[in-house]
A and B are shown apart, each in its own frame.
Chain A
Amino acid sequence: MEEMVLPKRNLPKFIEKILVNYQVFAPVEEDGVTMFKQIRDFSVVNLGFSNSKVPPKILLFKQTETLFKFTPGTKGKIEPVEKREEKTVVFGIRPCDAKAFAILDYVFKGDYEDPYYLTKRKNTVLIGLSCTQPALNCFCTSFDDTPASPKHVDILLTDIGDKYYVEIPTGKGKQLLKDMNKLFGSASEEDSKKKKEVEKKAVNFISRYQKTDGLVEKLDKIFENPFWKKVAMKCLGCGICTYLCPTCHCFDIQDEATLSKGARVRVWDTCMNPEYTLQASGYNPRPSRMNRVRNRIYHKYNYYPKNFDVIACVGCGRCIDYCPVNIDIIDVVTRAWEVRG
């Protein structure tokens, strides 16, 4: 892996250079809400955020995606949507949100290849930004990761004072930086030491922890336990935890048409919604909140590890931060360990 440094004063120039060949998404704050939005120049970028409200999964797995268009009726026809091959950079993505893409890949690259997600994924370069001050409910360290891990990004910037320490773990990252040598300097041993210090400090900042070793087997034993009913009693059944989750990926498919034109769209769906499992017969295999809340936990900590050997949680803390009734996934798992079964 190559290591360099980028003086902070060169950052705007760096972004401007990228903007020549790529569409760039970066954290932007509007009305106090930080989101990844397309930018045209560096001035609007907000790097003082902890986590964006909605995770950047929304850029690759869009909340509303048109799959194809059609003309309804007996003379109807189908028009494919243009496959967009725009080269894209997501700038300022957090290591946890980047890891989420690696987790999502298993689904969208699985038995069926999803061209909508995969085309965007292929054309997207992830430029990560290490967290120097993780938020209150961050717990990425519970999954052998760190707030400054370059594992799942193409380029990682870490703030080490007046410059960024730059790690370039992938060929995609190298390709992007071609012809930009002038902006960068080579990293000294001192710089590398500083990065490690920043990383260590950030790790120490994290105070929340979830024990996951052997959790798959534990959950296998307590599926029928009344514990889940207790956890779900206060659940309101809204979609906050799933929509703001960087790894939740369920969707619904709808035909939306007028008399003369229509489109088949894919929209985010949530397993917290009773309709999610409602069958045409009227039967619902997950009839109560207990079933649905339990499903969210099992999908992340039991089914996903069984299928893909990875826990489908990256520890970003969003579901904990924004749950209106304080259903706290760290607390739920911690208490699950105490359940006899």
Chain B
Amino acid sequence: MVDENQLREMVKKTVSRDDVKYVVGYEKGTYGFEVTPSFAFTAEDADNFIFSPLCVNNLATYLMLEEKPLLPEGEEPDTRKIGLVVKGCDSRAVVQIIQEKGLKREDVIIIGIPCTGVVDLKKIKARFPGHTKNVDVKDEDDKFVVTIDGKIHKIPKEELLPDKCKHCEYPTPIIYDILIGKEIKSTKKEGYREIELLEKLSLEERWSYWEKQFDRCIRCYACRNVCPLCYCKECMVDQLSPQWIRRSVNLSENTVWNLMRAYHLAGRCIGCGECERVCPMDIPLMKLNKKLEKEIKEMFDYTPGVKVEEKPLLAMFKPDDPEDFIL
């Protein structure tokens, strides 16, 4: 269990510093199981901050969503730091962005939370449908404790964990300035079982599987916008000259969009699963990301977002790469 009081104290301390603009964390949402990103500009704002297994969002994306409007002549930009509450997986996004020089380490103050697993909102909503009032979910060893209208339900974690937590190897943030609670070591391992099942299908079967998925895509770009690593100033899908992808929404263009996005994240995706979580059409986007992650692990023995001092995959060369694929 995360000590929420300690979290709020630390956020208050951080936001009170002269060199900090605001701190991004979580607060209760407007209904049911919802938790929502929260921005603390003052110490009082931090009173709203919470941390529970419902805090699913990867807030690292807000580092890259910060708007930098043109300023009137003579006005200096606000270069103060941003504080950020991260779980293990979220911190890997920050590491990856720093590696890519998208962000300087000193521009962010990281408040790390060793994470014992979050709740898959789709699963919990299906299990307890129709709750408008805020529902409290707590963490207790290998169970989630859900309190609804005073009634306590203890549910084995396995039943509510999202896939990413089931195989999480990095529950403790990789980098942090402040850690709330004690480090947690993971004994889990990503075995890529689901990916292996897909790999066993024939080419035709796989193609028709993905055709069915991409056919539904409505190109809302929520997958891109929620992704902490999709931070290109201009996304290839928005470019008009040359136009890489047509605006027509059909299977062909949708396929190009989803595959190109997956490739742009190859060796960069840290597996927070946000794209799949937000997809309104339930496209299993993590299967694409995990496939590429698996390939990269096998070919280059590389895991993105775990070492700050390391270079990004596509910016480095190691003479001892496994590279079995080169003849």
Contact = CB atoms under 8 A, between A and B. Distances in A.
A324 B222 contact: yes
Interface in A182-239: 207-208, 230, 233-234, 236-239
B78 interface: no
A288 B29 contact: no
Contact of A330 (B30, B36, B213, B246): B30
Given A240-B220, A324-B277, A267 B247 contact: yes
Interface string B14-37: 000000000000000111101111
Nearest to A332: B30
Contacts of B61: 236
B282 A136 contact: no
A208 B132 contact: yes
A268 B247 CA distance: 9
Contact of B280 (A30, A53, A236): A53
Interface residues of B, number: 43
Contact of A256 (B37, B57, B226, B246): B246
Nearest to B68: A288
B67 to A, nearest CB: 5
A256 B220 contact: no
- For chain B, what secondary structure do more than half of its interface residues adopt (helix, strand, loop), or is it mixed? loop
Contact of B129 (A136, A243, A244, A287): A136
A267 B226 contact: no
A289 interface: yes
Nearest to B278: A324
Contacts of A230: 39
Given A136-B132, A256-B248, A238 B222 contact: yes
B280 A326 contact: no
Contacts of B238: 275
B278 A238 contact: yes
A244 B249 contact: no
A265 interface: yes
Given A234-B36, A237-B225, A288-B67, A136 B130 contact: yes
B155 interface: no
Given A33-B216, A244-B280, A268-B249, A236 B32 contact: no
Most A C-beta atoms less than 10 A away, residue of B35, B65, B226, B281? B281
Interface in B258-293: 274, 277-278, 280-282
Given A33-B282, A234-B36, 20 more contacts: A31-B216, A35-B216, A53-B281, A64-B248, A207-B132, A236-B61, A237-B65, A238-B220, A238-B222, A238-B224, A238-B226, A239-B219, A239-B222, A254-B247, A254-B248, A256-B248, A265-B247, A267-B249, A273-B221, A326-B30
29 contacts: A30-B212, A31-B216, A31-B282, A35-B216, A54-B218, A137-B31, A233-B37, A234-B37, A234-B38, A236-B222, A237-B65, A237-B225, A238-B225, A239-B221, A243-B220, A244-B220, A256-B246, A256-B248, A265-B247, A267-B249, A273-B221, A287-B69, A324-B278, A325-B36, A325-B37, A326-B29, A326-B34, A326-B35, A330-B30
Interface of B: 29-32, 34-39, 57, 61-62, 65, 67, 69, 129-132, 212-213, 216, 218-222, 224-226, 238, 246-250, 274, 277-278, 280-282
Interface of A: 30-33, 35, 53-54, 63-64, 136-137, 207-208, 230, 233-234, 236-240, 243-244, 252, 254, 256, 265, 267-268, 270, 273, 275, 287-289, 320, 322, 324-326, 328, 330-331
